Amino acid sequence: MSSAKRILLIIGGGIAAYKCLELVRRLRERGHHVRAVMTKASHQFVTPLSVAALTNERVFIDLFDLDDEREIGHIRLARDPDVIVVAPATADLIARMAGGHADDLATAVLLATDKTVLVAPAMNPRMWLNPATQRNVEQLKRDGIHFVGPAIGEMAERGEAGPGRLAEVPDLLSAIESALDVEAAHKPLSGRHVVVTSGPTHEPIDPVRYLANRSSGKQGHELAAAAARLGADVTLISGPVSLADPDRVRVVRVTTAAEMLFAVQSALPADIAIFAAAVADWHVAAPSAEKIKKSAAGTPPALTLGENPDILKAIANLRKDRPTLVIGFAAETKDVLAHAKKKLKSKGADWIVANDVSPQTGIMGGDRNSVHLLSDDGVESWPEMSKAEVAAKIIERAAKHVALLKRAAAE
């Protein structure tokens, strides 16, 4: 592979575990970052100290290790790598994988991951040929797990020979690179930077009051998560929301429209910029430093409003560092398409995603959405679906569009 990748190596408890030391060394020579999880049985064959010295990383062992779970956790271990390699994969470890067990750190990581998993079996030939093992292997293959080996040859046990040897290091390296290619095929945004804005902005009136829009941030956060799943380097710039941060997404938290614009500008350059945030159109020109009290006469205070920056227009009309694809959102309560078409033209965006957020639709703050995608090619009206499905469809379409534009520019 031409670029460094993150590889998680899960070392099982077999005599062939010694080959993993050479595997780690060769992977690091190629520039890859290797992190290791060791089963307790593997300690009988190689030491955590040896593995840590070669990976130049802490070795992860215990599912219930308080420090490990606080600092990285088995979910992070499952999400961070580009590919997971299980070597040597013993008959017991394969059986627990096939059964969906999660009774130690290795199996918990494997059950929690959505990455390509490459299994390198190593065991006695009779264990490998046992119908139970073969059923488990077939189940894992149906589940999408990739295999390399086992090789045929002499075993550690005297007089034993047949299928069951761990694949040799060169074969393991070749299989890992093939697995990385498979993973890349499912990650069309690998190497791309995607910026997403999400949620509302809060424009202060005084220390306890503010102007805002009714946005939960659900659609924007789903867009960031969908982009990360396709391999993008994602910067999510979020106004005040009560949502958890998406996995593998860099989150920048802001409050006001001015802060959001600055954060977007600071995040550039980007390949794709998606402006899903419901930015307040106005701010109070001179917010009070103290809580505004009611007057004795009951007269409401006069608020002088100023116009907030138009973030979508500002980025769409950049001469330098303009993203390849700029996508805006138009939340309307009537004449949705008419307003969205006007916005597409006036803002300079490439696409506008429009929806009807009238109270009766339940879209604002809800889990479902019904959108129209507008571009120079026309209007596509999509059926109602979950916000996660809307996000996945937008990001898949955006990935294909950017790839076409980049290919055309290179020709």
Q: What percent of the chain has pLDDT over 90?
A: 64
Average pLDDT, integer, range 35-62? 91
Split at pLDDT 50, 70, 90, the class of 184 is: low
Residues assigned a catalytic role? 213
Radius of gyration of the chain (CA): 27
Q: Are 237 and 277 a contacting pair, CB within 8 Å?
A: yes
Determine the Cα–Cα distance for residues 343 and 311; give it in Å rounded to an integer: 13
Q: Do domains 6-185 and 193-410 have the same CATH topology?
A: yes
pLDDT at 1 exceeding the cut of 50: no
Average pLDDT, integer, range 360-383? 89
How do beta strands 282-284 and 305-307 pair?
antiparallel
**DSSP string covering 215-234:** --SHHHHHHHHHHHHTT-EE
User: What is the CATH number that goes with domain 6-185?
Assistant: 3.40.50.1950
User: What is the CATH number that goes with domain 193-410?
Assistant: 3.40.50.10300
Continuous H helices in 207-288: 218-229, 257-267
Burial category of 341 from C-beta neighbours within 10 Å (exposed 0-12, middle 13-18, buried 19 and up):
middle
Average pLDDT, integer, range 373-392? 93
pLDDT in tens, 299-343: 888 899 999 999 999 999 999 999 999 999 998 888 999 999 999
How do beta strands 193-198 and 203-206 pair?
unpaired
Provide the mean pLDDT of the chain.
Answer: 89
Split at pLDDT 50, 70, 90, the class of 70 is: low
Split at pLDDT 50, 70, 90, the class of 81 is: confident
pLDDT in tens, 138-168: 999 988 889 988 888 776 666 677 788 898 9
Of 100-104, 117-121, 245-249, 401-405, the least confident: 245-249
pLDDT in tens, 52-61: 999 998 889 8
Query: Tell me, what's the pLDDT at 77?
Result: 86
HSE, side-chain direction, 13 A CA sphere, residue 81: 30
Query: Tell me, what's the pLDDT at 68?
Result: 53
pLDDT at 187 exceeding the cut of 90: no
Spans of all domains in the chain: 6-185, 193-410
pLDDT at 2 exceeding the cut of 60: no
Query: Tell me, what's the pLDDT at 193?
Result: 96
Query: Tell me, what's the pLDDT at 190?
Result: 84
Summarize the chain as % helix, strand, coil (round to 5).
Answer: 40, 25, 35
Partner residues linked to 154 by β-bridges:
161
Average pLDDT, integer, range 393-399? 95
Determine the Cα–Cα distance for residues 206 and 204; give it in Å rounded to an integer: 5
Of 45-59, 67-81, 116-130, 218-232, the least confident: 67-81
Whose tokens are 């408890």? That residue is: 13
pLDDT in tens, 268-282: 999 999 999 999 999
Query: Tell me, what's the pLDDT at 191?
Result: 83
**225 CB contacts (<8 Å, ≥6 apart)?**
246, 247, 249, 388, 391
